[in-house]
């Protein structure tokens, strides 16, 4: 008897999702609770587990289809995958010169499960996915894996063999075709996450009176502090001491001094929070996500760094939950890890402000009347001017600057 696979409950107020990827094909053996499909919601990607062990039946929906909670997307048949596949497998066809192995150079092996975004990247760079070690869940490839492989130059050693596939011994290699006339286009449906991000960012621009204020900060003291204590910190707490911990704690202190930055507009009322739930932008294979560090004001540096590290790992393997993403009273986004010098971040409604961090670079600055070289970083605070005045925004950035340039302030709450 076939067991129906239904779309599980996705979270509060989430009623539908998009089928992002089939992880099991008809005839594949599946174990109980083994992921068989990936769903994309407005915020995260979720995996659908098999309700029972058996053989993957027919897919009821296609990749890209929108499905509602409780909808049947597939069936699980009784039996073992190997036996079923052996019975249904057709006799091997005679070998032909035009086989799949002789198709386009660099075309991914169909037996390897790739998400649409990873498949596009593999085709774009002409790499062999079987040569790349996957770091995603169950060893699956992520975009970061492919990008790192390409960056390392490892694919250069495989390009020649791939180009020679299907070429008879002694036959001349066809001349390279000029790329001058190639004007290929690809139309790809936006993921549900990207659609939601686009809609919310546009809503923020249409609704809030956005303004951005800048300041810069000398990172010398933080860099020296990290260098002095990083080994002891890692030994005691089992986690690296990063820059984000300093900025999260500095932000909590500044939010206490300037509470409007931690508030939000609800109709004709202002809601002030006496706690700091800090949303931190984390890079995931399908884009940036913003999980929330709850009650960050009550955490120490180790708690903050452990929480951020856990978010990073779970974002990479796709195990962040809806609960991880909900809420948040203030956001910190670190574009500096990608090399950004300066930006004007957009707030994440209903929050009223976002702090943008950027890359650290040596610059000439004047200190005590002398020109010196210091590691400097630009900070940007984008905020809703309906709620936060310019004076408050500047004061908030100055509080951050003071705490980062003199980390002792974080210990004595100044």
More confident residue, 115 or 7: 7
Structural domain contains residue 357: yes
Assess whether 69 and 19 both reside in one domain: yes
Assess whether 261 and 137 both reside in one domain: no
Q: What is the CATH number of the domain that holds 359?
A: 3.30.559.10
pLDDT in tens, 196-213: 778 888 888 888 899 999
Q: What is the CATH number of the domain that holds 134?
A: 4.10.320.10
Domain final position from 145, 161, 177: 161
Structural domain contains residue 187: no
Indicate which residues carry an active-site annotation: 385, 389
Helix, strand, coil fractions of the chain, as percent rounded to 5: 35, 25, 40
* Helix extents (H) in 318-366: 322-325
Structure tokens at 254: 């500044």
CA 350: distance to chain centroid? 21
- pLDDT reported for residue 103: 41
Structural domain contains residue 95: no
Assess whether 80 and 30 both reside in one domain: yes
Structure tokens at 91: 């006799």
Assess whether 280 and 310 both reside in one domain: yes
- pLDDT reported for residue 11: 65
- pLDDT reported for residue 24: 87
Domain final position from 161, 180, 210: 161
* DSSP state letter for 109: P
8 Å CB contact between 295 and 276 = yes
Number of residues written out for the chain: 414
Mean pLDDT of 201-226: 92
Long-range contacts of 223-232 (CB under 8 A, 24+ apart): 223/360, 223/375, 225/407
Assess whether 312 and 275 both reside in one domain: yes
Percent of the chain past pLDDT 90, that is, above it, reads 36
Structural domain contains residue 173: no
Assess whether 20 and 152 both reside in one domain: no
What b-and-e string marks burial along 13-26, b requiring 16 or more CB atoms within 10 Å of the CB? Answer: eeeebbbbbbbbeb
Number of domains forming the structure of the chain: 3
- pLDDT reported for residue 137: 61
Structural domain contains residue 240: yes
107 has a pLDDT exceeding 80: no
Assess whether 341 and 303 both reside in one domain: yes
8 Å CB contact between 362 and 349 = no
What b-and-e string marks burial along 51-80, b requiring 16 or more CB atoms within 10 Å of the CB? Answer: bebbbbbebebeeeeebeeebebbbbbeee
Domain that holds residue 149: 102-161
Q: How far apart are CA 53 and CA 35, in angstroms?
A: 11
Assess whether 142 and 108 both reside in one domain: yes
Assess whether 113 and 56 both reside in one domain: no
Structure tokens at 411: 């210990």
pLDDT in tens, 38-70: 887 766 677 888 888 888 888 988 888 888 888
- pLDDT reported for residue 265: 93
318 has a pLDDT exceeding 80: no
Assess whether 276 and 374 both reside in one domain: yes
Structure tokens at 220: 């010398």
116 has a pLDDT exceeding 60: no
Domain final position from 136, 161, 186: 161
Structure tokens at 101: 């192995």
Structure tokens at 343: 């930006």
- Bridge partners of 379? 215, 357
Instruction: Compute how many other C-beta atoms are within 10 angstroms of the C-beta atom of residue 289.
Output: 22
pLDDT in tens, 282-309: 877 666 788 999 999 999 999 999 999 8
| pLDDT band for position 154 (cuts 50, 70, 90) | low
Assess whether 241 and 311 both reside in one domain: yes
Mean pLDDT of 372-397: 95
* Helix extents (H) in 267-389: 301-317, 322-325
Q: What is the CATH number of the domain that holds 80?
A: 2.40.50.100
pTM of this prediction exceeds 0.85: no
Structural domain contains residue 314: yes
Assess whether 153 and 270 both reside in one domain: no
- pLDDT reported for residue 180: 59
- pLDDT reported for residue 4: 85
- DSSP line for 47-81: EEEPSSSEEEEEESS-TT-EEETT-EEEEEESS-H
Q: What are phi and psi of 89, to 5 degrees?
A: -70, 130
Structural domain contains residue 185: no
Structural domain contains residue 171: no
């Amino acid at each position: 008897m076939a067991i129906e696979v239904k779309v599980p409950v996705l979270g509060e107020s989430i009623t539908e999702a998009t089928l992002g990827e089939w992880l099991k094909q008809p005839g594949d053996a599946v174990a109980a609770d083994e992921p068989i499909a990936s769903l994309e919601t407005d915020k995260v990607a979720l995996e659908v587990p098999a309700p029972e062990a058996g053989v993957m039946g027919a897919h009821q929906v296609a990749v890209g289809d929108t499905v509602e909670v409780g909808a049947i997307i597939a069936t699980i048949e009784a039996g073992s995958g190997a036996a079923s596949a052996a019975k249904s497998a057709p006799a091997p066809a005679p070998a032909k010169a035009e086989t799949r192995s002789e198709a386009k150079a660099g075309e991914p092996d169909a037996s390897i499960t790739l998400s649409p975004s990873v498949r596009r990247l593999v085709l774009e760079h002409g790499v062999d996915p079987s040569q790349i070690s996957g770091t995603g869940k169950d060893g699956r490839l992520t975009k970061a894996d492919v990008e790192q492989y390409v960056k390392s130059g490892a694919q250069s050693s495989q390009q020649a063999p791939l180009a020679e596939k299907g070429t008879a011994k002694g036959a001349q290699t066809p001349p390279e075709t000029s790329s001058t006339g190639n004007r290929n286009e690809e139309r790809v449906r936006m993921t549900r996450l990207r659609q939601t991000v686009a809609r919310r960012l546009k809503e923020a621009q249409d609704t809030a009176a956005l303004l951005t204020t800048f300041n810069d900060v000398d990172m010398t003291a933080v860099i020296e502090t990290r260098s002095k204590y990083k080994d002891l910190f890692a030994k005691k707490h089992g986690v690296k001491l990063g820059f984000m911990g300093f900025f999260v704690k500095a932000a909590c202190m500044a939010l206490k001094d300037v509470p409007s930055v931690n508030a939000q507009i609800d109709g004709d009322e202002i809601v002030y929070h006496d706690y700091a739930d800090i949303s931190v932008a984390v890079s995931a294979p399908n884009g940036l996500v913003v999980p929330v560090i709850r009650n960050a004001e009550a955490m120490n540096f180790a708690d903050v760094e452990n929480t951020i590290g856990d978010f990073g790992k779970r974002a990479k393997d796709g195990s962040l939950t809806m609960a991880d993403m909900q809420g948040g009273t203030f956001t910190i986004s670190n574009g500096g890890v990608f090399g950004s010098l300066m930006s004007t971040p957009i707030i994440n409604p209903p929050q009223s402000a976002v702090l943008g961090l950027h890359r650290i670079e040596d610059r000439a600055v004047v200190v005590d009347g002398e020109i010196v070289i210091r590691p400097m970083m630009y900070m940007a605070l984008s905020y809703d001017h309906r709620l936060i005045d310019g004076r408050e925004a500047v004061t908030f950035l100055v509080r951050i600057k003071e705490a980062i340039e003199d980390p002792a302030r974080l210990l004595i709450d100044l």
